[in-house]
């Protein structure tokens, strides 16, 4: 850890100047209660840095949570071993793709019946405070149990003991994005009305005790819960396909964790709002998941409860290149080489270049920098990767 000043502490060594400047701006906000903790995977974000932990008092920053509220990871360890898997996993990739729709808006009306039933049951009892339009109601229903695109994925992986794991990354989908965008705009409007001077308008915050704050927190908790159920639903149907494909199998352990969220917590003797934007909670003994990228490993970790990080850790490898830069710089051929002998959507490689491993930081270096934040329980190597395009 490097102490920049009493308002900023960093675990990252691979940081560009713009990211550091952004983190400094966030740390100077009057609502920040203590220091901003910058994780090893930190990189430029909207308003606040992705890979940062921001404690605030009496206020929250909607753009700091981000537009994919509750985005996170889930993983299941099974009783299967590598020898239980056939050499050809292409049929399994097709089966997972059928029950876990991916991409933006395609195939969501044809989800597995088990997913539809789970969505109906959960949404009967869970609603945001915002009154949704008919279009939003339909999106909320049809996207529960779907993966999305970008860096969201499903993987079948093997750990150091050759045990088979199912791992996935997703969040609160379109409804989380729409609710977040609405509250980010509202925070900017409040800042303008109250004449709150901000170095960056995207750092606009909502004050505790106001209706705008209460409205946001209610919607936030809905979206965070939606994200958890979304991941659980996809795990359930994908596991069934895996076990049917192999002809046997049972679940042994399950982990599900957010990395874009805020919660009320106590640190250094004070109750504060802790926003983790691209960071996971890493309390003592708490299990978490830190993925790399396509073609690299994922780590199952146990928290060490480091107080200086607000008991937090990195959430992944973190981008080194923007998507635009990756598409201009990297090639399909080098992506195919990086993916090695994994089963993946190689026929869509031209649409996945922006997810090239070289567009991300070295996950092994990120883990080395996280040595005082978490300890590794399992290192997972993917044998199958499925992403939305």
User: Any idea what the CATH number is for the domain that residue 149 is in?
Assistant: 3.90.1860.10
Q: Which of 347, 289, 339, 345 is nearest to 314 (CA)?
A: 289
Inside any domain, residue 339: no
For residue range 339-349, what is the model confidence (pLDDT) as tens digits?
999 999 999 99
Confidence of residue 240 (pLDDT cuts 50, 70, 90): very high
**Which residue carries 């979206």 as its tokens?**
223
Catalytic residues, by residue number, are 315
User: What distance in Å separates the CA atoms of residue 119 and residue 141, rounded to the nearest whole number?
Assistant: 6
Residue 207 above 70 pLDDT? yes
Q: How large is the angle between the packed helices 211-246 and 113-125, nearest 10 degrees?
A: 160
Inside any domain, residue 105: yes
The whole domain housing 54 covers 2-320+360-387
pLDDT value of position 265: 98
Inside any domain, residue 345: no
DSSP codes joined into one string, 164-210: EEEEEEE-SHHHHHHHHHHHHHHHHHHHHHTT---SSGGG--EETTS
Confidence of residue 105 (pLDDT cuts 50, 70, 90): low
User: What six digits make up the tokens of 268?
Assistant: 């250094």
CA 189 to chain centroid, in Å, comes to: 28
Number of folded domains that form the chain: 1
C-alpha dihedral sign at 33, 34, 39, 44: positive
User: What distance in Å separates the CA atoms of residue 251 and residue 145, rounded to the nearest whole number?
Assistant: 19
pLDDT value of position 109: 64
Q: Which of 211, 225, 230, 222 is nearest to 128 (CA)?
A: 222
Residue 107 above 70 pLDDT? no
Inside any domain, residue 333: no
The residue with greater pLDDT, 115 or 27, is 27
Task: Give the chain's end-to-end CA distance (angstroms, integer).
Answer: 37
Inside any domain, residue 129: yes
Q: 60 pairs with which residues across the strands?
A: 206
Fill in the DSSP letter of residue 370: T
Pairing outcome for strands 8-10 and 36-43: parallel
Confidence of residue 327 (pLDDT cuts 50, 70, 90): very high
pLDDT value of position 111: 77
Inside any domain, residue 316: yes
Pairing outcome for strands 270-277 and 163-170: unpaired
Confidence of residue 114 (pLDDT cuts 50, 70, 90): confident
pLDDT value of position 332: 97
Residues in CB range of 66: below 8 A, 6 or more apart? 45, 46, 50, 180, 260, 277, 278
pLDDT value of position 344: 97
pLDDT over 90, % of the chain: 93
Mean pLDDT of 128-141: 96
Inside any domain, residue 342: no
Inside any domain, residue 120: yes
User: What distance in Å separates the CA atoms of residue 34 and residue 130, rounded to the nearest whole number?
Assistant: 32
């Amino acid at each position: 850890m490097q102490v920049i000043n009493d308002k900023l502490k960093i675990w990252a060594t691979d940081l560009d100047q713009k990211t550091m400047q952004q983190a400094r701006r966030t740390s100077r906000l009057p609502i920040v209660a203590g220091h901003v903790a910058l994780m090893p995977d930190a990189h430029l974000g909207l308003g606040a840095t992705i890979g940062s932990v921001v404690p605030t008092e009496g206020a929250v920053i909607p753009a700091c949570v981000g537009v994919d509220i509750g985005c996170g990871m889930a993983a299941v360890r099974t009783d299967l071993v590598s020898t239980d898997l056939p050499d050809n996993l292409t049929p399994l990739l097709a089966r997972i793709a059928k029950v876990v729709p991916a991409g933006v808006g395609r195939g969501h009306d044809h989800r597995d019946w088990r997913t539809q039933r789970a969505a109906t049951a959960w949404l009967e009892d869970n609603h945001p405070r915002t009154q949704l339009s008919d279009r939003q109601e339909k999106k909320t229903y049809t996207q529960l149990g779907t993966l999305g695109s970008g860096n969201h994925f499903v993987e079948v992986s093997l750990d150091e003991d050759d045990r088979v794991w199912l791992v996935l990354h997703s969040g609160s989908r379109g409804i989380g994005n729409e609710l977040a965008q609405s509250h980010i705009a509202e925070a900017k409007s409040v800042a303008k009305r109250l004449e709150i001077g901000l170095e960056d308008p995207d750092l606009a915050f909502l004050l505790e005790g106001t209706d705008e704050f209460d409205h946001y927190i209610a919607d936030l908790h809905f979206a965070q819960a939606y994200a958890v159920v979304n991941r659980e639903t996809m795990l359930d149907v994908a596991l069934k396909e895996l076990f049917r494909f192999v002809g046997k199998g049972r679940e042994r352990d399950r982990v599900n964790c957010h990395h874009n969220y805020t919660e009320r917590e106590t640190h250094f003797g004070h109750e504060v709002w802790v926003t983790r934007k691209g960071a996971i909670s890493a309390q003592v003994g708490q299990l978490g998941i830190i993925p790399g990228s396509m073609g690299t490993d994922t780590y199952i970790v146990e928290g060490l409860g480091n107080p200086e990080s607000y008991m937090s850790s990195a959430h992944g490898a973190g981008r080194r290149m923007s998507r635009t830069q990756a598409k201009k710089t990297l090639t399909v051929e080098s992506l195919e080489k990086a993916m090695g002998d994994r089963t993946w959507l190689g026929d869509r490689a031209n649409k996945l270049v922006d997810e090239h491993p070289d567009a991300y930081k070295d996950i092994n270096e990120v883990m080395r920098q996280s040595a005082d934040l978490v300890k590794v329980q399992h290192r997972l190597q993917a044998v199958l990767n499925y992403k939305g395009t």
